[in-house]
Amino acid sequence: MEIAKAYKPKEAEESHYQKWEANGCFAPEINENPDATKYSIVIPPPNVTGSLHMGHALQHTLMDALIRRKRMQGFKTLWLPGTDHASISVQRKIVEQLRAEGETPQKVGREEFLRRAWAWKELYGNTIVEQMKREGASVDWSRHRFTMDESLSKAVIVVFCTLYEEGWIYRGKRIVNWCPFDKTVISDAEVKDETRKDGKLVYLQYPVKDSDKKITVATTRPETMLGDTAVAVNPSDERYKDLIGASILLPLTNREIPIVADEYVDAEFGTGAVKITPAHDPNDYELGLRHNLEQLVIMNDNATMNAAAGADFEGLDRFKAREKVIERFEELGLLEKIDDYEISLPVCERCKNIIEPLLSEQWFCNMDEMREMALDLMKNEGVPHFYPQVPHEKVYTAWLENLKDWTISRQLWWGHQIPAWYDAEGNVFVARSSEDAYIAAGTGDLTQDNDVLDTWFSSALWAFSTFGWDGSEPPAVAGGFNADNQDAENHPSATADGSDLEVFSPTDVLVTGRDIIFLWVSRMMMTTKKFVNKVAFNDAVITGTVLGKDGKPMSKSRGNGVDPLEMFDKFGVDATRIYLASIATGADIKWNDTQIETYRNFANKIWNATRFCLLNSEGAKVDAESIEINSRNETSSADWKKKYELITMSPDELQKIIQKEQNLSIADRWIISRLNKTALGVNRALDKYEFHTAVSLLYHFFWDDFCDWYIELVKDEITKSEPSAVADGLTSLSEISNNELQPPATADGSDLNIEARTRIITIIEQSLRMLHPFMPYLTEELWQKLPNTSNQLHNAAYQSAEQTIMLTDFPSGDKSAIDERAEAEMQAVIDVISKVRNIRAEMQIKPSDKPTIHIAANADAQKIFAQNEAQILKLARAESLVLSEKLDVPKASAKAVTTLAEIALPLEGLIDFEKEIARLENQVNKLEKENEQLRKQLSNANFIERAPAEKVQGIRDRVAEIETQVSALRLNLEALK
RNA sequence: GCCGACUUAGCUCAGUGGUAGAGCGCUCGCUUCACACGCGAUAGGUCACAAGUUCAAAUCUUGUAGUCGGCACCA
């Protein structure tokens, strides 16, 4: 088999995805087990205008890892993909497109505009979807949904009408957040605050009518004075008491406005007198209502001044008008002063333009009922369970508690048009269709509302509208959410019909960013509870933000963005994915190229380790039994005895034979123990969404344990063509037991250690399975190359599927396969090798020089070292091993101590005594330092008394160990001096 | 103004009561027959600061400083 020397990601990424999809691996229907538990995730639908960014890549990686593991575990998994119609963004694209042609939306009309929008969506709307395929995302494309699909749109209409009929949705005139760039209202949740240090507080003097007095008001938006309809003061403010009820002659306008008293005014702030612009400020609006003030709108929808602002100002941009107002006041001698003022401005989340508070008639959704539903879920059931819980649960709850009405209409054309019709008199008819509206109105002469719904209105339904809910099904359970109103027609719900809605809802987990917890997560919880009486999802994994190298959020304007596709090209999809998983701690993280390189190297390491095993795989195959400790032990206790009962044998001898047949060296039992520990840890971590822990466990198991130690320890066994002593003994036994792994003869007649090869291949295979959810391409590529892999290795739920690693059983880890004794014994061997290597490095012994290693240890430990003699000699590059109770070596020896042994390397002529003394002293110092700390603890009577006995004993043992080692090192030092 | 998070090795970050960790970087050595995207061996930290709780604190409590976030206010 020809295998490239280095992993080439692109080759692996080329074909597997297509094959997986073509074979139906992504769809839940691949699961043949009728009793399989479902596991479902809906994707946060990316905007059709979007292209893949690092945040998507991160979230998709996590979702895919979760889905792939569950699928391998035999769950009936569905990861549902889709896209969001993104009202404003698409609208903006089309407006730009029209502008380029010298057209405007108004000129071409709504119909043409929408035609173009759909065409745009068809052409570009799948960009991100295609990019997701590159990621390896195992989503079920047959269930792809778009928020403006027919059934999803129907769901929107039903929800709107239901909420309207129940009185939660209403139309009203309010101060709203107006974006002059997008020319639409936006909701509070879409407004961000931006602090500006260069703000100004302008003090304007208003002359009082029939008086020479003037009242000074302070404002950050002087242009709004053109819409002032009062000046307000605090009723108890002595300075203005006599002016209450008097009138102001409002400069520049020829209008006369009252001076009113209101508790809202803070006498301490500014001048204590406030200009009141009810149509352009929410507080002024409220105050205006209390005092019956006129509401004078002075701006157009693009934030230029309108006729009401006066002929001098009409048509001026709001900021130009601001300048001009200040100029004119100065000319009139009414400009008192201008102070510098740090101000926070509301800006549009998407286009960053400054929001204009504006009086406007809009549709609103009263959130009282749904807020309570969401709060109840959180308080009674703790749903959704946020990961990480802190701070999200608290922030989410606090937000809900203070939730105000939601502005749901938008002055846009692209989106779900509001199902409300008006007759000539302006009467409104909300209906599920125009026909229904005509019937209700008794006339066909109706006009539908021009506005569309907030994009988040349809995404709020995503957790059930995507499963086919369109409100047409009658409820299976009457009411349940509203005791007063159990009208079935108004409360469609799930039916027990095996539909996707019944099977896959509620979803298991939502993975998303913290920026849309309010906009989306909360609203899905609410609407899903209200309309299908289920939770939308049980868990909510909130990822941190991937920041640029400068520690700031990635953005085009900052130029600090990192394109996932570039990373895919440069480092490979798998490296990028596992890197992203490794940083998924929930905290924000700075992008770091060197870290992704680490995982690129890791991918190459996996490739090469597998390559090595494959180059030595003749006669071997993947065989789970080869690494199953348990079944073998069971065999040994019962069957084996039976098998050999005719043979006269002492129990010890029998045990020996069993051990030989098992052919499991300390290294084997050690790596099997490590493998199972890793599997248990990885599963435990993923169950808690601790992706970084899972990755770290896999990384270190594979690289450190498997590659650096296991492969090196068994290398000879695997590569040597002549049979080892152990394997030799195996031959005859295998015949007795009909062992199918009986070593065949190779072409040149030499025997191979098939068992060892099978074992290492099997360990590789298990490792690849565990790595698969993070590195799907690499693992599939390699798995397909392993000898005798087939769909026999699949989880029982996928027995008839085309062979692929993605349907193999995910290793669960076997607690009983953990062998602490083997791990300790292996550690003793590793310690010896490391110490010898340390001596070699410090004494600068050439690689070609092969010293003799003397080890002094007790009988048990000697046995361990004897069993691993070949490995110790090879890995420590030594000639021979001398085992004894006590060291007997020349003075010119370098020495070291481990927990179980004293080590000496006779280095006649090679040793530098100064260096050796320094080396030993260094070790003594380290141990003494540790010892000092431990003894301090032991000398504390309170510690002895109160700490757990186990802990105290542990420290006593360690002290004893240190002292043994120190005295040994001291003796060595004395000998040198 | 209120609430919260963070501060650990040169860098980027793990680590929730019991001997301080990883990757990268640094230093030294190695064309050791899977891998130089590699192998081996070192060095490097008063865990922001201060006080407290505890036999024991990076970890719990309080305070201080800095960084960042959410909410409110913003005449």
- pLDDT tens for A498-510 read 799 999 999 999 9
CA of A940 to C1' of B61 (A): 24
Residues 6+ apart with CB under 8 A from A157: A416, A419, A432, A433, A471
A194-227 burial, b if ≥16 CB within 10 A, otherwise e? eeeeeebbbbbbbbbeeeeeebbbbbebbbbbbb
Question: Is the Cβ atom of A438 within 7 Å of strand B at any atom?
Answer: no
pLDDT of residue A650: 58
Longest dimension (CA), chain A: 128
Question: Is the Cβ atom of A191 within 7 Å of strand B at any atom?
Answer: no
Alpha helices in A665-746 (DSSP H): 666-687, 691-700, 712-719, 725-737
A902 - beta bridge partners?
A856, A897
CA of A398 to C1' of B3 (A): 10
Give which of A180, A197, A206, A198 is closest to A325, Cα–Cα. Answer: A206
A249 - beta bridge partners?
A256
Protein residue minimizing CA–C1' distance to B29: A841
**Chain B nucleotides with an atom closer than 7 Å to a protein C-beta:** 3-6, 11-15, 18-19, 22-25, 28-43, 54-56, 68-75
User: What is the 3-state composition of chain A as percent helix, strand, coil, each rounded to the nearest 5?
Assistant: 50, 15, 35
Which residues in chain A, range 768-827, keep a C-beta under 7 Å from any nucleic strand B atom? none
Question: In the numeric block, which tokens belong to residue A88?
Answer: 């404003």
Q: Which nucleotide comes closest to A571 if you measure CA to C1'?
A: B37
- pLDDT tens for A236-275 read 999 999 999 999 999 999 899 999 999 999 888 889 999 9
Which residues in chain A, range 837-856, keep a C-beta under 7 Å from any nucleic strand B atom? 837-838, 840-842, 844, 847
CA of A696 to C1' of B52 (A): 36
Residues 6+ apart with CB under 8 A from A417: A448, A449, A450, A451, A452, A453
Question: In the numeric block, which tokens belong to residue A65?
Answer: 């890892």
Question: In the numeric block, which tokens belong to residue A924?
Answer: 């003594």
What is the residue-averaged pLDDT of chain A? 89
Question: In the numeric block, which tokens belong to residue A61?
Answer: 């990686």
- pLDDT tens for A661-694 read 566 889 999 999 999 999 999 999 999 999 999 9
pLDDT of residue A751: 57
Inter-residue contact A140 to A133 (CB < 8 Å): no
Mean of pLDDT values over A77-85: 97
- Cβ-based burial of A254 (10 A; exposed 0-12, middle 13-18, buried ≥19): exposed
CA of A719 to C1' of B33 (A): 10
- Cβ-based burial of A738 (10 A; exposed 0-12, middle 13-18, buried ≥19): exposed
Distance of CA A211 to the CA centre of its chain: 67
Q: Which nucleotide comes closest to A954 if you measure CA to C1'?
A: B18
A42 - beta bridge partners?
A80
CA of A224 to C1' of B73 (A): 20
pLDDT of residue A642: 47
Question: Is the Cβ atom of A598 within 7 Å of strand B at any atom?
Answer: yes
Question: In the numeric block, which tokens belong to residue A422?
Answer: 């008006």
Distance of CA A707 to the CA centre of its chain: 29
Distance of CA A22 to the CA centre of its chain: 28
pTM of the full predicted structure?
Answer: 0.90
- Sheet strand arrangement including A385-387: A385-387, A537-543, A507-513
Question: Is the Cβ atom of A603 within 7 Å of strand B at any atom?
Answer: yes
Strands (E), A792-876: 852-857
Question: Is the Cβ atom of A612 within 7 Å of strand B at any atom?
Answer: yes
Question: Is the Cβ atom of A595 within 7 Å of strand B at any atom?
Answer: yes
Question: Is the Cβ atom of A23 within 7 Å of strand B at any atom?
Answer: no
Preceding omega of A506 cis (within 30 degrees of 0): yes
pLDDT at A378 over 90: yes
- pLDDT tens for A792-845 read 999 999 999 999 999 999 999 999 889 999 999 999 999 999 999 999 998 989
Question: In the numeric block, which tokens belong to residue A523?
Answer: 């609203």
The CA distances from residue A512 to A59, A516, A693, in Å, are: 6, 8, 19
Q: Which nucleotide comes closest to A603 if you measure CA to C1'?
A: B37
Using the structure block, give the residue that is written with the tokens 């160990």.
A961
Question: Is the Cβ atom of A516 within 7 Å of strand B at any atom?
Answer: no
Give which of A714, A185, A700 is closest to A451, Cα–Cα. Answer: A185
pLDDT of residue A493: 42
Question: Is the Cβ atom of A684 within 7 Å of strand B at any atom?
Answer: no
- pLDDT tens for A380-393 read 999 999 999 989 99
Residues 6+ apart with CB under 8 A from A268: none
Neighbours of A245 (CB within 10 A): 9
pLDDT of residue A741: 35
- pLDDT tens for A356-377 read 999 999 999 999 999 999 999 9
Task: Say which range, A202-211, A569-578, A915-924, has the weakest mean pLDDT.
Answer: A915-924
What secondary structure does DSSP assign to A242-284, as a single string? GGTT-EEEETTTTEEEEEEE-TTS-TTSTTSEEEE-TTT-HHH
Inter-residue contact A674 to A713 (CB < 8 Å): no
Neighbours of A913 (CB within 10 A): 12
Separation CA A293–CA A279 (nearest Å) = 10
Neighbours of A821 (CB within 10 A): 11
Question: Is the Cβ atom of A290 within 7 Å of strand B at any atom?
Answer: no
Question: Is the Cβ atom of A882 within 7 Å of strand B at any atom?
Answer: no
A364 - beta bridge partners?
A170, A407
CA of A156 to C1' of B71 (A): 30
Distance linking the first and last C-alpha atoms of chain A: 59
- Cβ-based burial of A960 (10 A; exposed 0-12, middle 13-18, buried ≥19): exposed
Separation CA A146–CA A190 (nearest Å) = 22
CA of A541 to C1' of B60 (A): 27
Which residues in chain A, range 520-559, keep a C-beta under 7 Å from any nucleic strand B atom? 547, 551
Protein residue minimizing CA–C1' distance to B21: A696
pLDDT band at A729 (very low <50, low <70, confident <90, very high): very low
Task: Say which range, A182-191, A198-207, A644-653, A799-808, has the weakest mean pLDDT.
Answer: A644-653
pLDDT of residue A974: 86
Separation CA A767–CA A674 (nearest Å) = 11
ipTM score assigned to the predicted complex: 0.97
What secondary structure does DSSP assign to A47-90, as a single string? BTT----HHHHHHHHHHHHHHHHHHHTT-EEEEE-EEB--HHHH
Give which of A756, A755, A673, A751 is closest to A716, Cα–Cα. Answer: A756
Separation CA A162–CA A489 (nearest Å) = 9
Q: Which nucleotide comes closest to A545 if you measure CA to C1'?
A: B69
Question: Is the Cβ atom of A391 within 7 Å of strand B at any atom?
Answer: yes
- pLDDT tens for A314-343 read 999 999 999 999 999 999 999 999 988 888
CA of A942 to C1' of B64 (A): 32
A500-526 burial, b if ≥16 CB within 10 A, otherwise e? bbbebbbbbbbbbbbebbbbbbbbbbb
Question: Is the Cβ atom of A274 within 7 Å of strand B at any atom?
Answer: yes
Mean of pLDDT values over A464-488: 59
Inter-residue contact A181 to A318 (CB < 8 Å): no
pLDDT band at A108 (very low <50, low <70, confident <90, very high): very high
Neighbours of A61 (CB within 10 A): 27
pLDDT of residue A196: 81
Coil vs helix vs strand at A206? strand
